[in-house]
Amino acid sequence: MYNLLRAYINKVTFSTISDEEFSFFEEAFSIKKVKKRQFLLHEGSICRYMAFIAKGAMRQYTIDEKGIEHIVRFGIEEWWMSDRESFLSLTPSRYNIEALEDCDLLVSTNEKLTSLRNQSQLFAKLGQILDEKSYIASQKRIEMTISYSAEEKLLFLMENSPQFIHRFPQNMLASYLGLTPETFSRVRKQLLIK
Amino acid sequence: MYNLLRAYINKVTFSTISDEEFSFFEEAFSIKKVKKRQFLLHEGSICRYMAFIAKGAMRQYTIDEKGIEHIVRFGIEEWWMSDRESFLSLTPSRYNIEALEDCDLLVSTNEKLTSLRNQSQLFAKLGQILDEKSYIASQKRIEMTISYSAEEKLLFLMENSPQFIHRFPQNMLASYLGLTPETFSRVRKQLLIK
DNA sequence: AAACCGGATTGATTTAGATCAAGCCGATTT
DNA sequence: AAATCGGCTTGATCTAAATCAATCCGGTTT
C-alpha cells in the first residue's frame, strides 16, 4: 500500500524518492481501512486526519437546514481527503466525509505532517504542486457554478471528471453540480438524444 | 511601497523578515502602476505577472458566448492577482484582469518567483499559508454557489466580504455571486426591510 | 417467488430568478 | 443648464429548474 503512495509522489513531483526520504513518509502515515458507509469525519467534530486514498471512493458533504445534502467534493484513488480548515485550525467541522466504497487509506495527523515537512524537501514540493492544482480546479468549478446552465454543468462534468460519471449514482452527481436528481436525469436524456 | 509588502510578509508569516532576506523580495518585485479601466491581463494572452496589490482594487472575469461577464474574483489591498494556470503553464488565459481603481502593484514573473522560493525560506512559507487560506475560501464559495438561494448568497457576501459591499458597484457584486443586477437589487431591498 | 430497497425516470405543477423594458438619480461633461 | 452616462430600481412577463408525486427497474433479502 505504501508503494502506491511512493509511486504517486514520484509521479507528481517528477522525481525518484530515495529509500531514506521515503522512510519519513512511512513513519508519518499509517494504514486505515474504512468500509462503505463508514465515516472518516462527522459534522461537529474536529478533523484529525489527512487521508491519501490508496483504494476506494469517498464524498465530502454538508447538510443544510432543510436536511438536504450538498456534496462539495468527491475523492478517488490518489486523491486526498480532509477538511483542511478543521484539520489545521482544530475547529469543529461543518462537513461529513463518508466512504462510498470500501477504502484503503493512508492517514496522517497535523503534527506528523508538520514534522514531515521539515524532514522531506519533496513533501514540501508535493504540497505546493497539489495546492496549485486544487486552486486552479476550484477556480474553474466556481466559474461553472456561477455561470453555467444545467446542461452546461453536465457537459462540464463529462469533460472534467469523466471518471465520476459511471462510478457514482446520479443523485450524488446532481448534488455535486448543484442540481436536483430530476433535472440531472432530464438533461442527461436530452444530451443522449443529441 | 515595498514596506507595505514587508509589513504584509511579517503579518502573514508571524515573523520579522531580515533586511537581507527582504532584499531578495526587492530584487524579485518591481513597481507597476495601472490606471482605472486598464488591464493587467487580456483574455487570450499569457499571464506574465503575479501582482501584489499595494493600493487599489481589481477584478478577474470571463466573458461567455452571450457576451455576459462573470466575475470570478475581486482583489484589493494585500491580495494577489494573477491567472495562476496561465502564469505557471504559460498557456493563453480565459480571463481578463482589470483595474477598478487606480492601482499600485508590485509585480514579479514566474522565473523570479522560482528563484525567490530558493533564496527565501519565508517566501515558501508565505506561499504555503496563502494556498491554505485560498483553498478554504474557495471551498466555502463553492458550497455557497451550489446550495444557497439568492438571499442566502447576499448574506454570505455581507458576512464573508463586507469590504466589498460599499467598494464595488452592485452589478459587479451580483456577477460575483452569480445573480443578475435586478435580482440583487430586489433581494437587497427585502433584506433592508427586515 | 414475493417483498423490499435504492435509484432513475417521467409527468404535472409551481416558483425563484432571469429577462425585457422603462424610468430614475446623481455625477460628470460640454 | 442641458446632455450624457453609469448604475440602480421597479414593474411585467417568461422560463429554467425545483418541487411534488407516481411509477419503474434491477438487485438483494427473506
Is there a domain that residue A132 lies in? no
Are B136 and A68 an interchain contact pair (Cβ–Cβ within 8 Å)? no
Q: Which residues of A touch B85 (CB under 8 A)?
A: 136, 139
Distances (CA, A) of A189 to A145, A156, B80: 21, 16, 43
Whether the predicted model's global pTM rises above the 0.75 cut: yes
Pairing of strands B39-41, B103-108: unpaired
Is there a domain that residue A173 lies in? no
Q: Which residues of B touch A156 (CB under 8 A)?
A: none
What pLDDT shows up at residue B192? Answer: 86
Q: Name residue, grid cell 457514482.
A: A168
Q: Which chain A residue has the Cα nearest residue B128?
A: A128
Q: Across the A/B interface, how many CB contacts are shorter than 8 Å?
A: 81
Q: Which chain B residue has the Cα nearest residue A88?
A: B132
Distance CA A74, CA B10 (A): 36
Residue B58 is placed in which grid cell? 481589481
Residues of chain B in Cβ contact (below 8 Å) with chain A: 62, 64, 68, 70, 72-73, 84-85, 88, 124, 127-128, 131-132, 134-136, 138-139, 141-143, 145-147, 175-178
What pLDDT shows up at residue A91? Answer: 97
Is there a domain that residue B70 lies in? yes
pLDDT (tens digit, 9 = 90+) per residue, A56-65?
999 999 998 8
The CATH number assigned to the domain holding B87 equals: 2.60.120.10
pLDDT at A194 over 70: no
Which residues make Cβ contacts (< 8 Å) with residue B118, sequence separation at least 6?
none
Alpha helices in B14-120 (DSSP H): 19-28, 84-89, 110-119
Residue A14 is placed in which grid cell? 517528477
Our measurement of CA B103 to C1' D4, in angstroms, reads 27
Domain count for chain A: 1
Is there a domain that residue A165 lies in? no
Is there a domain that residue B131 lies in? no
The CA-CA-CA angle for residues A84, A60, B61, to 5°, reads 70
Is there a domain that residue B48 lies in? yes
CB count in 10 Å sphere of residue B149: 9
Q: Which of A71, A72, A73 is nearest to A53 (CA)?
A: A73
Are B84 and A132 an interchain contact pair (Cβ–Cβ within 8 Å)? yes
Q: Answer yes or no: are the C-beta atoms of A31 and A106 closer than 8 Å.
A: yes
Is there a domain that residue B8 lies in? yes
What pLDDT shows up at residue B160? Answer: 96
pLDDT at A44 over 70: yes
Q: What's the mean pLDDT when you consider all of chain A?
A: 95
| pLDDT tens track, chain B, 194 positions | 999 999 999 999 999 999 999 999 999 999 999 999 999 999 999 999 999 999 999 999 999 888 899 999 999 999 999 999 999 999 999 999 999 999 999 999 999 999 999 999 999 999 999 999 999 999 999 999 999 999 999 999 999 999 999 999 999 999 999 999 999 999 999 998 76
The bases of strand D with some atom under 7 A from any protein CB are 6-12, 16-21
Is there a domain that residue B187 lies in? no
Scanning every strand, the nucleotide with its C1' closest to A177's CA turns out to be D17
Q: Name the residue range of residue A39's domain.
A: 2-120
